[in-house]
Structure 1
Amino acid sequence: FSTEVRVYPTLVKLDFIGTLSYLLSHDNIVISTDVIRLLDDMTDDSTIMEDPTGESVGLIDEVIAKAIPQSLISNLERLYSNSTIHHDGVEATFHVLSHLIEIRPDVMESYWQAQLPRHLLHFLEGEDYDEMMMYASELLFSLCAYKQRVDSFAEHPEWVEQLLVVLSRWRSHDPESLDEAEILENLFNVLCMMIQSSAVLPTLREKELLDLLLIPIRKHKYARAAALKAVDYLLGMKDPQDAEAFIDKKGLKYLFPALLGEKGTGLKKWAPLDKLDFENHVLCIIQSLLGLDVNSVYFKRVMKKFHDDDYAKCDCILEICARFLKTKERFDAMKEQHAFDVTPEEAEEGITAEEKEYEKKIEMGLHVYDTAMAILHILMKDAPCNWHVQRKVYEQGWQLNVE
């Protein structure tokens, strides 16, 4: 009867969930695991959402009211062993916790209170890829994206340390499968959220985050793309010390080859982070570095790179801008034709013209163009670069507004 939603209201009246809550803590781990499997079947969000009466959601509310999520999380410690029964229990637990999020996202507040991230990081620490790692990485991402709760990592610096240790696995070797690559992306996305948290960022700096990120960048590993994305987020926090540290640690040596496409992007055919995103993160890092004090030695070191090799980096920025000229013309034409005006239906959904315009820009890759143009305008303030850019634009006949 576990998927017969018509009996769920009766089960709630009979306090069946209360009985399951009691059995969850049974000394016999087999009984406890069977209960978790049953809860997995009963809370399956696809089953709940297909109920035409909507009454089955009452069972989810009862599960939450009886503190089942907290019991499941505290029970995880009993399932740390590698035996099959423990593995099945962990998998079913992660399924239940995920089902509840789909139906009642606010349940994640109780997950934080029960310190679920501590357990997720434990399962992510395994040396060899395991299916549980995928579930753990997805749950951790959901938790960190929930109502700024990523700030809670500031209260647990040991969790920050654990995450960095897990990420260090990919410093010197590449993921061996699409699933492992997805885990890497999930965890680096968690890291990016932590970087954006003013509460957590000081801890990351103390743990020498930049050193960790530069290793896969130097070695041209798969994690290079994700690491550059994290560096982009870090420098985007606008602390000059981060940008200066990046330069001091020889980041420029590896940044510009990435811009020029030397040794490739490090991306596989199945990479979740596509080439355009990779290119944009590299450009955003350069833009952040060019935002340093123009009188500082650090700014001059960055500008010198644009002077080197007969202005090859200037040419690269120009070529990126030129590559998108026709796309930009199409976008401007769409704007003139009011393609981004909001329909009454969209207005009811809270969609704005600015949002539609932004989404189309991303879809067309024009976020890359905008970043490249912003860099170009900074370069035009430098007399040697200005002369070279003006000459190049004239020679190529590009219709670029570089003034």
Structure 2
Amino acid sequence: MNIDEIFKIPAIPSGRNKRKMPATPDVDFLDKYQSNQQQQSQGGDDTADDIKGKRRAVDVDAAPIDDNDFAEADDQFVWNDNDEEGRFFGGGLTDEQSKLLELVDQFDQDDDDNDQNDGITVTAVKRMILKFEKAINKNQELRMRYSDDPTKFMESEADLDEEIKNLLVLTQAPHLYPELVHLNSIPSLMSLLSHENTDITIDAIDLISEWLDEDVTGAGVEEEDDDESEAATKGVKVLMDSLLEHELLELLVQNLDRLDEKEESDRQGIFKILGIMENLLSLDPSLAKRMTLDTRLAPWLLKRIQSKEFDSNRGYASEIISILLQQDHDVRLKFCELEAMDILLRVSSSYKRKDPQEEDEAEMLENFFNAMISLLNEEKAKSLFLDGEGIELMLIMLKERTLARIRAVKVLNYALAGDSEMARANCFRFVDATGLKALFPLFMGKGNKKLKKVHKSFVEAEDEEHILCIILSMMRQFTRDDIQRLRLMQKFTQDDYEKVDRLVEMKQYYEERDIQVRDAIQKEMQQEEDLDDMMEEEFYLRRLDAGLFVLQRVCLILAALCAEDQGIAAKVDLLLGRLGQERASLMPIIEEETAVLADYVRLRKMAMGIPLTAINDKNGKTDDDNGQLDQ
């Protein structure tokens, strides 16, 4: 049984706007009520709204009950001695009093009917927008007329504040957002973002934030109701397009500079603005370019994250930067022009030897590193990273057991990756800055157990992946004539080839994981009648995620080392022989991925001293290399 249906509870609490009948009606009230009813029937909704605007709503339910109220009511009712049935057997009221109470019942019934019809409908939206527009116009008029006397327009500002908040109810009906556009209410709303009273501006910001909240498209819509969900999504899209057309981004960015974060309400307003930016990017990632290139959002964000103390707005600013940098090449270049790499290095350096104090602060630090990683996709950023001594900073972090140590490995992976001149320069700087000394203890797994205990975000497989990629990047960049290559190779021959032992150990571990996943996939494939290319790709991606990606890099490094050093080759043969394998077992894993095979050919050519320009075969093979390892 549905309790709401029995008591007819409205979806939206209506008590705050209901105009209540006084507890004890008198003849004066009857005259006013009859006058109001006549005007409503003659003048329509506009007149009714004017009358309601002049009389402040009184919520009887919220008022305390006083026994004196009942005493006063009894004094007003005069019992009729001529009543034939007497007050105990008749109505107990005079004809006039009975008529008054009938009107009270009629008034309450009218109000209840309005409440039931005030569900989120097109008519309800029009009514709310009409009151909203009237409140704006009245406030503007009074502000212009009494610009030197705030007391004259203070009440109109309170009314405007109330009407803005009333529009929050539309979040329950996003499919009706297009009505806001059709009623031309968006320009009025945008005007409030420049209102003289920042409290009104913050109200408007809060309203837009709620309208565009990521949960709104599913608000009040059952998951199985695809039609309503689609209508809600379209409604949000129409609203967003109209807001952007009326310069929403520019106005919001202006308020970032206008609001004073020393005030709590202003600080919350800025938080809401950043929330709107995030929601817009979630709805349309391509807006990142417009936000960055056409507004002053990026400079404000970069300035905001340089605050010394952590707060929610600093954390949110770091998140917006991280999101923006993931989207577009031009966005990343713009941030490079604004010296974002240098700023990110400076703010992250505060955590090189200490951990964040709270979870939100840790998330901010993650955003700093993610932003650097996104930037490092650009050659310009690699150059700025090198000039800003980013490699040296990351190496300092590698020596600690902090959250920064975990993320620094990934940053170095991106800084050294690629075939460009800047990637090569970063590889040389890494070795010259004693990077090998910092890296190989991590390669051996030193300190991993303690990191797991302290940081739940630490994933050993991811750490190993980044370390292996760093080693591969250096092997790709250094030629036989480079002293840095010799120093790298010596690391694998030291301490009785313990690094080679580690590689074979990793091969065994990830190979077993890959076999388990392949067996599970094989069972699924037997149950599938039709296996299309998409499913095969999905299965392969599952293998990569389970450890095949790391396994391929391990085999690639082992094969390249064997091609370059006979001592390493003999050690690999010995270790694999104990596992019942041969060196040739490396090749099937390498050949499974074309890019990995091409990498192997390149590395082998470099080990043989052949110039890189000779490696041009599209299939990753040349005449003297048929994908076989020397035995």
Normalising by the residue count of structure 2, what TM-score does the alignment of the two structures yield?
A: 0.59
The counterpart of 1:177, out of the listed 358, 361, 376, is 358
Residues 224-233 or 178-187, more deviating: 178-187
Alignment counterpart, residue 393 of structure 2, candidates 176, 201, 212: 212
The residue identity in structure 2 corresponding to 1:2 is L
Whole-angstrom CA distance in 2 between matches of 1:136 and 1:340: 50
Q: Percent identity?
A: 26
Change (3 A) 1:353 1:149: farther
- For residue 303 of structure 1, report the CA deviation from its aligned partner: 0.9
Amino acid of the structure 2 residue aligned with 1:22: S
Cα deviation, 1:127-157, whole Å, max 9, x if unaligned, reads 2322223322222122111132343336524
1:249 aligns with 2:433: yes
Q: Which of 347, 353, 360 is equivalent to 1:166?
A: 347
Q: Deviations over 1:2-52 (max 9, x none)?
A: 242365333223332211211212233222212211111222232135472
Please give the secondary structure, in 2, of the residue aligned with 1:290.
Answer: helix
- Using a 3 Å threshold, how does the CA distance of structure 1 residues 186 and 359 change in structure 2: closer, same or farther? farther
Partner residue of 1:190 out of 371, 374, 378:
371
Aligned to 1:20: 189
Contact 1:153 1:160 in 2 (8 A): no
Partner of 1:42: 211
Equivalent in the alignment of 2:503: 317
2:269 to 80, 89, 103: 89
2:235 paired with 1:56: yes
Residue 396 to residue 358, structure 1, CA distance change in 2 (3 Å)? closer
Residue pair 2:190, 2:248 contacting (<8 A) in 1 also: yes
Alpha-carbon distance change, 162 to 175 in structure 1, aligned in 2, over 3 angstroms:
same
Question: 1:371 corresponds to which residue?
Answer: 553
- Give a deviation string over 1:273-295, Cα, whole Å, max 9, x none: 52210111011111222222133
Aligned position for 2:568: 385
Tell me the distance in 2 between the aligned counterparts of 1:155 and 1:284. 25
User: CA deviation digits over 1:68-127, x for unaligned, max 9?
Assistant: 122101210123533212211111111112222232333323211213222222332222
- The match for 2:283 is 103
Contact kept in structure 2, 1:160 and 1:203, CA below 8 Å: yes
Q: CA deviation at 1:358?
A: 4.3
Distance 2:335 2:274 in 1: 25
Secondary structure at the residue paired with 1:56? helix
**1:353 offset after TM fit, Å?**
3.6
Could you say if the C-alpha distance between residues 215 and 114 of structure 1 is closer, same or farther in structure 2, counting changes exceeding 3 Å? same
Distance 2:531 2:218 in 1: 24
CA drift of 1:343 comes to 9.4
**Which range moved further: 364-373 or 243-252?**
364-373
What is the rounded CA distance, in whole Å, between the counterparts of 2:527 and 2:347 in structure 1?
Answer: 46
Measured at CA, do residues 218 and 102 of structure 1 come closer, stay the same or move farther in structure 2, by a change above 3 Å? same
Which of 462, 468, 479 is the equivalent residue of 1:283? 468
* Structure 2 CA distance for partners of 1:85 and 1:173, relative to 1, 3 Å: same
Match of 2:309 in 1: 128
Report how many residues are paired: 399
SS of equivalent residue, structure 2 residue 332? helix
Q: Look at both structures and tell me which one has the larger radius of gyration over its CA atoms.
A: 2
**Hey, what's the Cα distance between the residues in 1 that align with 2:424 and 2:178?**
59
Q: How far apart are 1:260 and its partner, in Å?
A: 0.9
CA distance in 2 between partners of 1:172 and 1:153 (Å): 31
Deviation per residue, 1:213-232 (Å, 9 max, x gap): 11211234321121111111
Aligned partners of 2:353 and 2:402 also within 8 Å? yes
**Structure 1 residues 268-277 or 69-78, which shifts more?**
268-277
Which 5+ residue runs of structure 1 have no aligned equivalent? none
How far the C-alpha of 1:314 sits from its partner, in A, is: 0.8
SS at match of 2:399: helix
> Structure 1 residues 62 and 120, CA, compared in 2 at 3 Å: closer, same or farther?
same
Distance 1:344 1:44, change over 3 A: farther
Question: Which structure 2 residues correspond to residues 250-269 of structure 1 after superposition, within 5 A?
Answer: 250-264=434-448, 266=451
Where does the alignment leave 5 or more consecutive residues of structure 2 unmatched? 1-166, 222-227, 587-628
* C-alpha spacing 1:110/1:352, structure 2 compared with 1 (3 Å): farther
User: When the two structures are superposed, what TM-score results if normalisation uses the length of structure 1?
Assistant: 0.89
Residues 286-311 of structure 1: CA deviation (Å, up to 9, x unaligned): 12222221332111101111111111
| Range that drifts further, 22-31 or 186-195 | 22-31
| Kept in 1: contact 2:468–2:554 (CA 8 A) | yes
User: Closer, same or farther in 2 for the Cα pair 1:307/1:345, shift >3 Å?
Assistant: closer
CA contact (8 A) 1:185 1:272 kept: no
Worse-matched range after superposition: 263-272 or 41-50: 263-272
Does the C-alpha gap of structure 1 residues 17 and 131 become closer, same or farther in structure 2, counting only changes over 3 Å? same
User: Which letter maps to 2:235?
Assistant: S
Cα deviations across residues 220-254 of structure 1 (Å, max 9, x unaligned)? 43211211111111111233221111111000111
Post-superposition CA distance 1:346-366 (Å, at most 9, x none): 87xxx5744x24421233122
Contact 2:514 2:543 in 1 (8 A): no
From the superposition, tell whether residues 276 and 3 of structure 1 become closer, same or farther in structure 2 (CA, over 3 Å): farther
Secondary structure at the residue paired with 2:448? coil
Out of 164-173 and 144-153, give the one that drifted further: 144-153
SS of the aligned residue for 1:128 comes to: coil
AA aligned opposite 1:383: Q
Paired amino acid for 2:486: K
Superposition pairs of residues 353-364 of structure 1, within 5 angstroms: 353-354=536-537, 356-364=538-546
**Is this contact kept in 1: 2:418–2:473, CA < 8 A?**
no
- Distance verdict in 2 for CA 1:139–1:155, change over 3 Å: closer
Q: What are the equivalent positions in structure 2 for 1:232-247 lying under 5 Å apart? A: 232-238=413-419, 239-247=423-431
Q: Which residue of 1 aligns with 2:514?
A: 328
CA distance in 1, matches of 2:180, 2:365: 41
